[in-house]
């Protein structure tokens, strides 16, 4: 896959400064999916061309995913796709961000530029290609390719050799390519996850809001995931209406920010996994799994045979699914949407249930329903449950006094409150319980997280 960028702005070799790549050198950068090479086929005062040659390794793409040979035979190594966007963001990051110490004025100046893409898949044809680039001011030359020269009857392919010409800043050109190449390709993207909305909005800044095809661009860029698209559209329109999923995401970040200085989340996950292994539990159901922090760790571990995550939030499960999909295939993970306050057959048959930072999200009057669902009906041999220790909150520098760690927390307990509750539940449903601190232990306040490990008698 080849992208060339040419300028006739004089001195044209300034392109080297703008791209932060010296015209006399050939440079090569390893990427997770192959190799990017940058070189200048021409570098004169009146005309200079930089080339980005992307050598996508088809074997790397499928390695570890347990897929068949069919996956090796694809157009991915040869066409402009989201891989090219990732490569642009990595090897031209400074230029994409519009920074250049040597020529700060030129960065801001529209200069004559021609971008040529050797093979660009255009789902939607040349018409759609024009709909995307013409409103941004480009003149376009597109040369279509027939599917097979030996069989002209088969007609046109979706592949075009495309030349885009405009007087524009280099950073705008790169931003347009970054966003619109995956939009045209419209294949399953290499990326699309949590950070994609943020990237789309960042690289779309200044032009996407005004683009007549804005909605299609967002839809396709975000892999047609309706919820992500809705969030992005809402953010673009700066709607005041809070999206419930977005609120949940922000809150999760809030809690993480409060607890971050201690990397408490990591310590919590380590402690939970250690407790599960200590009990010899191999089949695990993670109740209130959220975005799959623990699931990922369990899936990567290799010790566990069966892993299931349950959550009431569809959005959280979608994110968990995406994150798990990106892991090299190890133990598969099943995700179930469900409420923990309703009896559910799907929760039975596990060695252990984990309930990590979840009970404090339940309304206190619903807690007894949850107790019955878990301890009476699901009845795993082991239950590992964690919850914040409210006594410790005074030690978080960025948590105002009296505030709970998360807007959605209905309560947070002292060590005594938690232990009383746990012992009572244990007695009622025939479980013994032991307690362990997680995180740094303060001699007076205890640890930031408290963990109860229940064992069925
Ligand atoms: N265990 C995860 C997430 C904790 S946040 C972690 O440690 O990262 C609490 C999670 O509980 C949220 O994802 C929320 O959607 C879920 N939750 C809250 N009430 C629930 C209920 N009644 N049934 C199922 N899940 C619930």
* Residue 155 contacts residue 147 (beta carbons within 8 Å): yes
**Per-residue pLDDT in tens (0 to 9) along the chain, 457 residues:** 899 999 999 999 999 999 999 999 999 988 877 899 999 999 999 999 999 999 887 665 554 444 344 445 567 777 888 788 888 988 999 999 999 888 999 999 999 999 999 999 888 889 999 999 999 999 999 999 988 888 888 888 889 999 999 999 999 999 999 999 989 987 655 545 557 777 888 899 889 988 999 988 988 887 756 555 666 666 555 433 344 445 556 656 666 666 665 588 999 999 999 999 999 999 999 999 999 999 999 999 989 999 999 998 878 888 888 888 877 756 788 888 888 988 888 999 999 999 999 999 998 988 999 999 999 999 999 999 999 999 999 998 888 888 898 888 999 999 999 999 999 999 999 999 999 999 999 999 999 999 999 999 9
The edge-to-edge listing of strands for the beta sheet with 382-388 is: 333-337, 306-311, 283-287, 352-356, 382-388, 449-456, 431-438
Domain boundaries, the chain: 2-190, 245-456
- The CATH number given to 245-456 is 3.40.50.150
Question: Please, which residues have CB within 8 angstroms of residue 5's CB and are 6 or more apart in sequence?
Answer: 15, 19, 49, 50, 52, 113, 114, 115, 116, 170, 173
* Residue 302 contacts residue 331 (beta carbons within 8 Å): yes
Is the CB–ligand 1 distance for residue 289 below 6 Å?
yes
Q: What is the pLDDT of residue 310?
A: 94
Is the CB–ligand 1 distance for residue 249 below 6 Å?
no
Q: What are 300's two structure tokens?
A: 């990567």
Distance of alpha carbon 244 from alpha carbon 366, whole angstroms: 21
By most ligand atoms within 8 Å of CB, the mutation choice from 254, 260, 290 for ligand 1 is 290
* Residue 316 contacts residue 290 (beta carbons within 8 Å): yes
> Distance, CA 120 to ligand 1 centroid (Å)?
43
Question: Matching CATH topology for 2-190 and 245-456?
Answer: no
Is the CB–ligand 1 distance for residue 77 below 6 Å?
no
Helix, strand or coil, per DSSP, at residue 442: strand
Is the CB–ligand 1 distance for residue 357 below 6 Å?
yes
Distance of alpha carbon 433 from alpha carbon 382, whole angstroms: 10
> Distance, CA 302 to ligand 1 centroid (Å)?
25
Q: Which atom of ligand 1 is nearest to the CA of 406?
A: 5
Q: Which atom of ligand 1 is nearest to the CA of 355?
A: 1
Q: Which atom of ligand 1 is nearest to the CA of 252?
A: 5
pTM of the model: 0.52
Q: What is the pLDDT of residue 232?
A: 61
Residue nearest atom 9 of ligand 1, based on CA coordinates: 358
- The CATH number given to 2-190 is 3.30.1610.20
Is the CB–ligand 1 distance for residue 358 below 6 Å?
yes
* Residue 451 contacts residue 271 (beta carbons within 8 Å): yes
Is the CB–ligand 1 distance for residue 13 below 6 Å?
no
Q: What is the pLDDT of residue 228?
A: 58
Helix, strand or coil, per DSSP, at residue 292: coil
Backbone angles phi, psi at 155, to 5 degrees: 85, -165
Distance of alpha carbon 455 from alpha carbon 384, whole angstroms: 9
């Amino acid at each position: 896959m080849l992208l060339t960028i040419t300028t006739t702005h004089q001195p044209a070799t300034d392109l080297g400064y703008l791209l932060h790549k010296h015209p006399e050198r050939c440079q090569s950068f390893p990427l997770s999916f192959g190799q990017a090479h940058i070189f200048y086929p021409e570098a004169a005062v009146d005309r200079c061309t930089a080339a980005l040659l992307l050598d996508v390794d088809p074997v790397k793409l499928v390695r570890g995913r347990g897929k068949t040979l069919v996956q090796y035979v694809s157009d991915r190594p040869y066409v402009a796709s989201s891989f090219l966007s990732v490569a642009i963001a990595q090897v031209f990051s400074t230029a994409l961000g519009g920074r250049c110490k040597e020529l700060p004025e030129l960065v801001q100046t529209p200069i004559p530029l021609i971008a040529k893409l050797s093979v660009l898949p255009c789902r939607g044809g040349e018409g759609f290609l024009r709909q995307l680039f013409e409103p941004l001011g480009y003149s376009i030359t597109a040369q279509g390719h027939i599917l097979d020269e030996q069989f002209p009857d088969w007609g046109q392919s979706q592949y075009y050799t495309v030349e885009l010409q405009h007087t524009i800043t280099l950073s705008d050109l790169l931003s347009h390519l970054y966003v619109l190449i995956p939009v045209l390709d419209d294949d399953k993207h290499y990326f699309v996850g949590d950070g994609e909305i943020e990237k789309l909005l960042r690289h779309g800044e200044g032009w996407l809001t005004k683009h007549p095809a804005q909605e299609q661009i967002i839809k396709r860029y975000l892999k047609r995931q309706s919820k992500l698209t809705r969030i992005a559209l809402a953010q673009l329109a700066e709607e005041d209406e809070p999206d419930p999923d977005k609120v949940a995401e922000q809150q999760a970040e809030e809690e993480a920010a409060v607890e971050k200085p201690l990397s408490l989340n990591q310590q919590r996950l380590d402690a939970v996994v250690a407790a599960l292994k200590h009990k010899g539990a191999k089949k695990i159901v993670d109740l209130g799994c959220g975005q799959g922090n623990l699931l990922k760790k369990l899936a990567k571990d290799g010790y566990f045979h069966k892993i299931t995550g349950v959550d009431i939030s569809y959005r959280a499960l979608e994110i968990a699914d995406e994150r798990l999909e990106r892991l090299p295939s190890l133990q598969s993970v099943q995700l179930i949407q469900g409420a923990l306050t309703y009896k559910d057959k799907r929760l039975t048959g596990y060695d252990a249930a984990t309930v990590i930072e979840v009970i404090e999200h339940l309304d206190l009057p619903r807690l007894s329903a949850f107790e019955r669902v878990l301890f009476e009906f699901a009845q795993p041999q082991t239950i590992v449950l964690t919850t914040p220790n409210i006594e410790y909150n005074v030690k978080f520098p960025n948590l105002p006094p009296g505030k709970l760690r998360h807007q959605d927390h209905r309560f947070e307990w002292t060590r005594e409150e938690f232990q009383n509750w746990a012992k009572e539940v244990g007695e009622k449903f025939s479980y013994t319980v032991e307690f362990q601190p997680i995180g740094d232990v303060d001699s007076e306040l205890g640890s930031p997280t408290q963990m109860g490990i229940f064992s069925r008698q």
